[in-house]
Structure 1
Amino acid sequence: MLQAQEPTLDDFQQLEGCNEVLNVTRPDIVRSVHEAYFAVGVDCVETNTFGANHSALGEYDISGRVHELSAAGARLARESADAFTARDGRPRWVLGSMGPGTKLPTLGHIGYATIRDGFQANAEGLIEGGADALLVETTQDLLQTKASVIGARHAMRQLGVDVPVLVSMAFETTGTMLLGSEIGAALTALEPLGIDMIGLNCSTGPAEMTEHLRHLSRHSRVPLLCMPNAGLPILTKDGAHFPLDSEGLADAQETFVREYGLSLVGGCCGTTPEHLRQVVERVRGLTPPARDPRPEPGAASLYQSVPFRQDTSYLAIGERTNANGSKKFREAMLEACWDDCVEIAREQIREGAHMLDLCVDYVGRDGVADMAELAGRLATASTLPIVLDSTE
């Protein structure tokens, strides 16, 4: 919708494709998109700040503008929301969009502290610009998701305010997130961060989201959201085409509200104002059924959740990746033979461990550096949760 209004290269300040710059140079274009959706009856819109984060703006060498462009995007959405509320008295809300960026911290593309602090600047700008809630969306890497949520918490503490934090994950057609995380692992890892809502958006259409929503409905303690694409994209000579029509999206969202008790529904890629008009007509006035979630306590790795449910007589924690309990592991660590350390972990996996203990405490060593090195390696070399074991 932004591109359809043919912004010029000058509008982009010579940064072609950086849509967030339009918040400053062409507020009329951005405002028109918000108005198109409010006009069909939606309760809330997202800010034009999906890429207003350290790594995405860093691609244009303007990472120092995260706060500026975030605040400008939130102000535009706030102005539109308030204008529509003034007409009929019905509240409208602004969701501050915090996109995933372009780098995956789990794979070492960017440091955790760097990405966390970038998301803090993103969140501070959104809150100062008038966002009612922060939407950590289209998340693909659980470590990136955590960095976003913690960055948002730091922003709220810095500003002395408290707004809801919503998390929306992107699951591929494989059934997992980009790095292989299952829905159970995601819920186990993210819910304890104190988020206010959890759900899915992007990557697929509603048909592919059904089983994930069923799991969340059964186990999540917090309310649920869903913003699917208009089906799986089909590549044509004119670009991506999204095949799901507005009636199909409305059918799916009504079903999700009725069957899974969703509290927030909308649309992502390919969903036009007409799609949302029909969704509004179908779900407005519906009362989601009360859910009776049965939380499943457990521990999660990047890939899977291991419930604290013992089918055997004990839960086995592999202790050989412990500098105090294993001479072989300690010597490999002291010599920085990291591959040997990982192989010791894998031996325990093959022997049936349910989790891996990791202890690097040793006199004279930099425990922080050793823990960062080995925890990072084990996180992707094993599908088992890691028990971080330290006297520090």
Structure 2
Amino acid sequence: MERLVYFDGAMGTMLQKSGLKAGGMPEILNITNPGLITDIHRQYAEAGCDIIKTNTFGANSLKLKDYTVGEVVSAAVENARAAADGRLVALDIGPTGKLLEPMGELSFKRAYEVFGEIVRAGATDADLILIETMSDTYELKAAVLAAKGNSSLPVYATVTVDEAGRLLTGADILSVVALLEGLGVDALGINCGLGPKQIKGLFKTMRDYASIPVIINPNAGLPKVGEDGMTYYEVGPEEFAEDMLEIASSGANIIGGCCGTTPEHIARMVEKTRHLMQKPLNPKGQTVVSSYAGAVIFDEKPIIIGGRINPNVNDSVRNALSEGDMDTITDEAMEQADAGADIVAVNVAIPDINEEEAMTEAVKSLQQFTRLPLMIESESPSVLEGALRLYNGKALISCVSGKKESMNTVFPLVKKYGGVVIALALDENGIPPTAEGRLETAEKIIKNAIERGIDKKDIIIDVCAGAGNPDEGLKALKLIRERLGVKTVLGISKTDIINADFLKEAVNSGLCAAVVDPCNDEIMEAFSL
């Protein structure tokens, strides 16, 4: 077991004590007054922290005026390194200060570029990257992709939430955990916004969902505004340390402070908790997909995947795609949500249109009008990648098979962007006629995924029950659930032999999800058992 790891505390609070006015750019001081910045870093080092955050929270090209990002970030890393004395230096990245589309005007692509510039400027001399105080999962995703796409450093990410556990743009804690673990961050957590008392319960929720180390960096209580217009915090070092002791004892792995905390807060926190060891990580094994607003767990209840946005089964969708009519596409999604769908599938492949452009537009539109997670369905790797990159959440992906070419193209996308992927139990030899053959193919797919760093909880097997003898399909469902311990799904098309009666048998055999028309009462009744 390892001891707790400690972040430092607030930089802005210390600079305000040194005369920085409200609204001033603290990042500029890396160049104009490096001695002051290094001295603050050194005070935190002496207080006992293990990780020093660079003074780069707002050092991005959308905010900086008189200096370049490269100049400010390079100076900041140098200042932190000068005080580190063997401690780790974290390249600190905060929000851009702009809302992303569709709520604002900043595009996802531009946000990625802004974050990438910061990473390239500081990653060479830093030990890890800390993305913090994020209140929008879309911006969070852009930052994580930029960090991983422009460096090989460990990436930590923390969000700021309200007392109900929601981000500004609506995400809950489970959807944040699903997104970040899917993207492959090394640690996640909560910072800013709230004090340790308010964060206690929210931390426990995050700990219950997370399978990786959890970071808690609270403020020194809730912010208040004094008569002079300056923000201040009322929680002193002793009270802060007592609260952090409770949080650390409950399983936090990495702790520190945010706004209002000082070297005194950190020193007292370290003193109070230095006897504690980190609790062992507990992989949760949950299969989860998410949207910007929430998450869906594949558990005991069969999951309904609305399959109407598919030109192969819905002529109105085919016509809408031909005419570039996204209103019909979003109407279909909302109708399925009202009918009880948990997830909405999106397939836009028809001849004579640009599938990649159509999928991009569909994903953008659907994210504005439905809170449900999406299933991205395409046989084209480039279409999948374009959609997964822009998708604001952890998507369900359709699909991969046991064919080598399929696994070689789809699994890297799953690893890069996160997601839960549906795997068809077939390979170069087609669909095995027996349940045992489909089990063997599923085992091969799962083994290949694990070798690529994809957890088996993020694999859902489609046993291709509509092909061949349906009894073999039902038997395959049972075998795969019992022997492999993964989730299962059925995909239904116009030509399938699958009907409501078959679905009832499939649910009793361990079916976890199905792609169906949720507006069909007979089909939905099969899931109400």
TM-score range, shorter chain: 0.7 to 0.9
SS in 2 for 1:316: strand
- Give 2:56's aligned residue: 49
Q: How many Å apart are 1:291 and its aligned residue? A: 4.1
- Give 2:304's aligned residue: 316
Deviation by residue 1:18-48 (Cα, 9 ceiling, x = unmatched): 2222212221221122122223222222101
SS in 1 for 2:130: strand
Paired amino acid for 2:190: L
- Give 1:354's aligned residue: 342
SS in 2 for 1:200: strand
> 2 CA distance for matches of 1:193 and 1:4?
38
SS in 2 for 1:45: strand
- Give 1:146's aligned residue: 141
Q: What pairs up with 1:206-285 in 2 under 5 angstroms?
A: 206-238=196-228, 239-260=230-251, 262-285=252-275
Q: Are 2:112 and 2:146, in contact at CA under 8 Å, matched by a contact in 1?
A: yes
- Give 2:111's aligned residue: 115
- Summarize the Cα distance change of 1:200–1:343 in structure 2 as closer, same or farther, 3 Å threshold: same
Paired amino acid for 2:234: P
Paired amino acid for 1:98: I
Paired amino acid for 2:41: H
- Give 2:327's aligned residue: 339
Q: Matched residue pairs, number? A: 365
- Give 2:46's aligned residue: 39
> 2 CA distance for matches of 1:205 and 1:355?
35
- Give 1:13's aligned residue: none
2:378 counterpart of 1:383: no
- Give 2:70's aligned residue: 67
> 2 CA distance for matches of 1:333 and 1:230?
53
Paired amino acid for 2:180: L
- Give 2:186's aligned residue: 196
Q: 29, 34, 38: which is aligned to 1:27?
A: 34
Paired amino acid for 1:112: F
- Summarize the Cα distance change of 1:357–1:108 in structure 2 as closer, same or farther, 3 Å threshold: farther
Q: How many Å apart are 1:7 and its aligned residue? A: 6.0
Deviation by residue 1:70-102 (Cα, 9 ceiling, x = unmatched): 1211111001113xxxxxxxx312111011111
> 1 CA distance for matches of 2:299 and 2:165?
24
Paired amino acid for 1:259: S
- Give 1:169's aligned residue: 159
Structure 2 unaligned spans of 5+? 1-13, 381-529
Q: Which moved more, 1:282-291 or 1:144-153?
A: 282-291
Paired amino acid for 1:78: R
- Give 2:352's aligned residue: 364
- Give 1:325's aligned residue: 313
- Give 1:86's aligned residue: none
> 2 CA distance for matches of 1:360 and 1:183?
31
Q: How many Å apart are 1:256 and its aligned residue? A: 1.2
SS in 1 for 2:77: helix
Q: Are 2:20 and 2:26, in contact at CA under 8 Å, matched by a contact in 1?
A: no
Q: How many Å apart are 1:304 and its aligned residue? A: 1.1
Q: Are 1:219 and 1:295, in contact at CA under 8 Å, matched by a contact in 2?
A: no
Q: Are 1:206 and 1:231, in contact at CA under 8 Å, matched by a contact in 2?
A: yes
Find the structure with the greater CA-based Rg: 2
CA RMSD for the aligned pairs?
2.1
Q: Are 1:316 and 1:355, in contact at CA under 8 Å, matched by a contact in 2?
A: yes
Q: 92, 113, 127: which is aligned to 1:132?
A: 127
Paired amino acid for 2:187: M
Q: Are 1:166 and 1:196, in contact at CA under 8 Å, matched by a contact in 2?
A: yes
Give percent identity, aligned residues only: 30
- Give 2:291's aligned residue: 301
> 2 CA distance for matches of 1:146 and 1:212?
21
> 2 CA distance for matches of 1:55 and 1:371?
30
